[in-house]
Amino acid sequence: MIAEYWTFIVIAVAGFLATDIWRWLGVFTGNRLNEDSEALYWVRAVATSLVMAVTAKLIVFPNGTLAGTPLWLRVGAAGIGFAVFLATGRKVGIGVAVPMALLVAGLWWVGF
């Protein structure tokens, strides 16, 4: 009986609870912050840095199939794509399409 549901219990405790306690703490903290308060500047900076650290790691140390592709190709595609995005008036569509096209072209070129 317990064994049958054990995986669900693990997901509920080590997954749901382990994640949502931080969301709840975020609500209690955020509820005390005023918009444009000095503390909110810091919290915004920390949140942005965290998300960008996760993002950069997805490019530099990816999981799965991409892990077998050359690092210079992934960093080059993302970097050149971002530069084009900045140079062309910061349209998100361009910021996505250019690096994707560079990655696909590069993978084809190295014979992946």
Partner 1 sequence: MMDAMPEHDDRNALSWFFTGMRGLLSLPALILLTSIVGFSAFALESGLTRAEAVFMSLGIWALPAQVILVGSMASGANIAACFLAVTLSSIRMMPMVASVIPEMRTRRTPIWLLLILSHFIAITSWVFAITTLRNVPREYRATYFAGFGVTLTLTGTLVVGVFYDIVSGFPPVVAGILFFLTPVYFNASIWASAHQPVVKIAFVMGMILGPTLALVTPQFDVLCAGVGGGTVAYLIDRARRKRKHAGQEAR
- Judged by CB under 8 A, the chain residues 16 through 55 that form the site for partner 1 are 16-31, 33-35, 37, 40-55
Q: Name the minimum Å distance from CB 78 to partner 1.
A: 6
Q: Does the protein bind partner 1 through residue 107 (CB under 8 A)?
A: yes
Judged by CB under 8 A, does residue 109 bind partner 1? no
CB atoms within 10 A of CB 55: 11
Instruction: Out of 1, 3, 4, 7, name the contact with partner 1 by CB under 8 A.
Output: 7
Q: Give the DSSP per-residue string, 6-52.
A: HHHHHIIIIIIIHHHHHHHHHHHHHTTPPTT-HHHHHHHHHHHHHHH
> What is the closest distance, in whole angstroms, from the C-beta atom of residue 66 to partner 1 in the complex?
4
Instruction: Give which of 23, 22, 44, 20 is closest to 33, Cα–Cα.
Output: 44
Site for partner 1 in 59-88 (CB under 8 A): 59-66, 69, 74, 77-78, 81-82, 85-86
